[in-house]
């Protein structure tokens, strides 16, 4: 299994953990934004539980710039970006 596949699988687990908290996000589009309520999105996403879980899982720091980038990505795009942040790509 490649690093990208491993990263995707870990990220998918985090994504599902948070997405399932919001009934309005029942459709699995693999968009990271679904880890937050789409009916009542937060004003600030940096430092929220989904990103805290990602930081811990991948031993990275997600600042405001990365948070905004990742929020708008698919899981595959975000997996690649996480590997870039880690310096693995």
Give pLDDT tens digits for 11-37: 999 999 999 999 999 999 999 999 999
Cβ–Cβ < 8 Å for 31, 74? yes
Range of the domain at 42: 3-85
Between the two ends of the chain, the Cα-to-Cα distance in Å is 16
Average pLDDT value for the chain: 94
Look up tokens 């490649």; give the residue.
Answer: 2
Domain tally, the chain: 1
Query: How do the residues of the chain divide into helix, strand and coil, expressed in percent and rounded to 5?
Result: 60, 0, 40
Does residue 7 carry a pLDDT above 70? yes
Query: Could you tell me which residues come within 8 angstroms of residue 17 by beta carbon, excluding any fewer than 6 positions away?
Result: 53
Given pLDDT bands bounded at 50, 70 and 90, which one contains residue 39? Answer: very high
Give the pLDDT of residue 89.
62
Does residue 55 carry a pLDDT above 80? yes
Give the pLDDT of residue 88.
75
């Amino acid at each position: 299994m490649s690093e990208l596949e491993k990263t995707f699988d870990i990220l998918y687990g985090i994504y599902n953990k948070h997405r399932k908290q919001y009934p309005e996000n029942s459709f699995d589009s693999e968009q990271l934004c679904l880890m937050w309520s789409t009916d009542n999105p937060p004003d600030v996403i940096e430092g929220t539980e989904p990103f805290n879980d990602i930081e811990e899982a991948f031993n990275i720091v997600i600042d405001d710039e990365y948070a905004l980038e990742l929020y708008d990505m698919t899981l595959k795009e975000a997996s690649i970006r996480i590997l870039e942040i880690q310096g693995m790509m």
